[in-house]
Amino acid sequence: MTPQRSNLISGVVDVRLGARGTDFYDSYREFLPLDGDNSYEFDVEAAVFATGNVGEWLYTGAYNSDRSLNENCRGESSLFRGSSGDCDTIYPT
């Protein structure tokens, strides 16, 4: 008897038109910018997570068009978690 195989795909697409400095979901350093440039902008961002079987291989993957998956609040990305007490929870790979 062959085991049941299941796949899972989840994601979101975010489309936004608005003033640059009022994007609540953008990084903290971009919220209410110091240069005062709050002109209107159009943003499209996407994030996807998928896991499942591809032939005999198990696949798990993630994609985020906005930022690196391991980016901390200072905008730095690293392969391994640092013990410096970062201000964001990061997910090492």
86 by Cβ neighbours in 10 Å (0-12 / 13-18 / 19+) ranks as middle
> What is the per-residue pLDDT for 86?
52
Q: Is the pLDDT of residue 75 over 80?
A: no
Instruction: State the Cα torsion 25-51-83-24 to the nearest 10°.
Output: 0
Tell me the pLDDT band of 83, cut-offs 50, 70 and 90.
Answer: low
Tell me the pLDDT band of 87, cut-offs 50, 70 and 90.
Answer: low
Higher pLDDT, 19 or 87: 19
- DSSP characters over the chain: -PPP---EEEEEEEEEEEEGGG-TTS-GGGSS-TT----EEEEEEEEEEEEEEETTEEEEEEEESSS-TT--TTS---SS--SS--SS-----
| Cα 22 to Cα 31: distance, rounded to the nearest angstrom | 6
Give the chain's mean pLDDT: 77
Q: Is the pLDDT of residue 76 over 90?
A: no
> What is the per-residue pLDDT for 77?
75
Q: Is the pLDDT of residue 80 over 70?
A: no
